[in-house]
């Protein structure tokens, strides 16, 4: 029944915006790093100030990124990623905002210009001095930390995966893009996010204030469930596959 309700909401919408969190990637074998037993419970996080100040902190950070890269490189998109890409192919998706850094929305065929990576992306490496951005794969696949943390070939500045670190502010431009998308959507589908921290918590409120419908898909309750037009608390893989299959989408 809920799948039918979501199908109708989608069919009645012209400009859908997706907002996704860690829950959309668990089907792809990527652990929810904020959850209990997640990676940050086992490891002390490296804050951006420590990264900038100490070589041993940079090496620690890169060692962890190297371990994560093994998982990210081999991960394949799950049903939730394909769901949003299907909406895009049908001309229904205004854009997608994600808290995830795993690049799986890109891998599922959703063009990068339609994705706002709020927390950055592991698919890129940035030089913190000249801000040159490069694809991550060539650097990560040949990463050698024995001579120290990686440096920019152009300016010898510090390289870092292009993700938001602990203690680092979100990118203002990304936040603005996200707010514009949410303000102009007629349906916001929030999937796999607990919607607790800012700015995640503010997007559903903003969407509702502007007259959009709100759908929340997540295993656990969220503080915004009361404001939603539809709340789905079941495993999203089978659910979203059912919805996609029921849609009469062109393309
Ligand atoms: Zn540089």
Interval 95-104: pLDDT, tens:
999 999 999 9
Tell me, yes or no, if 119 is annotated catalytic: yes
What are the sequence ranges of the domains in the chain?
1-30+76-119+169-251, 31-74+122-163
Domain 1-30+76-119+169-251, CATH: 3.40.50.1220
Query: How many angstroms is it from 144 CA to the middle of ligand 1?
Result: 18
Query: How many angstroms is it from 141 CA to the middle of ligand 1?
Result: 20
Catalytic residue among 82, 105, 119, 198: 119
Interval 159-184: pLDDT, tens:
999 999 999 999 999 999 999 999 99
pTM summary value: 0.92
How far is Cα 246 from Cα 7, in angstroms, rounded to an integer? Answer: 7
- Cα–Cα–Cα angle for 162, 164, 175, rounded to 5 degrees: 105
Interval 74-91: pLDDT, tens:
999 999 999 999 999 999
Query: How many angstroms is it from 135 CA to the middle of ligand 1?
Result: 14
Query: How many angstroms is it from 180 CA to the middle of ligand 1?
Result: 31
**Integer CA distances (angstroms), 66 to 61, 138, 143, 160, in order:** 9, 12, 8, 12
- Specify the fold of 31-74+122-163: SIR2/SIRT2 'Small Domain' (3.30.1600)
Please list all protein residues whose beta carbon sits less than 5 angstroms from ligand 1, which is an ion: 127, 129-130, 132, 152, 154-155, 157
């Amino acid at each position: 029944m809920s799948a039918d309700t979501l199908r109708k909401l989608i069919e009645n919408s012209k400009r859908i915006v997706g907002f996704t969190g860690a829950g959309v990637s668990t089907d792809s074998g990527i652990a929810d790093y904020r959850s209990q037993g997640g990676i940050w419970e086992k490891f002390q996080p490296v804050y951006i100030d420590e990264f900038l100040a100490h070589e041993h902190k940079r090496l620690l950070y890169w060692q962890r990124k190297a371990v994560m890269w093994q998982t990210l490189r081999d991960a394949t998109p799950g049903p939730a990623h394909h769901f949003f890409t299907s909406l895009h192919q049908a001309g229904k998706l205004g854009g997608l905002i994600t808290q995830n850094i795993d690049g799986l929305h890109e891998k599922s065929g959703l063009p990068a210009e339609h994705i706002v990576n709020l927390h950055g992306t592991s698919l890129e490496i940035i030089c913190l001095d000249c801000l040159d951005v490069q694809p991550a794969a060539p650097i990560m696949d040949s990463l050698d930390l024995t001579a120290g943390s990686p440096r920019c070939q152009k300016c010898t500045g510090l390289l870092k995966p292009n993700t938001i670190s602990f203690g680092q502010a979100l990118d203002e431009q990304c936040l603005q893009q996200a707010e514009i998308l949410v303000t102009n959507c007629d349906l916001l589908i929030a999937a796999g996010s607990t919607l607790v921290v800012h700015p995640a918590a503010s997007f559903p409120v903003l969407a509702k204030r502007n007259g959009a419908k709100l759908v929340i898909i997540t295993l656990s309750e969220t503080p915004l469930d009361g404001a939603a037009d539809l709340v789905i608390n079941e495993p999203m893989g089978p659910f979203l596959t059912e919805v996609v299959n029921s849609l009469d989408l062109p393309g």
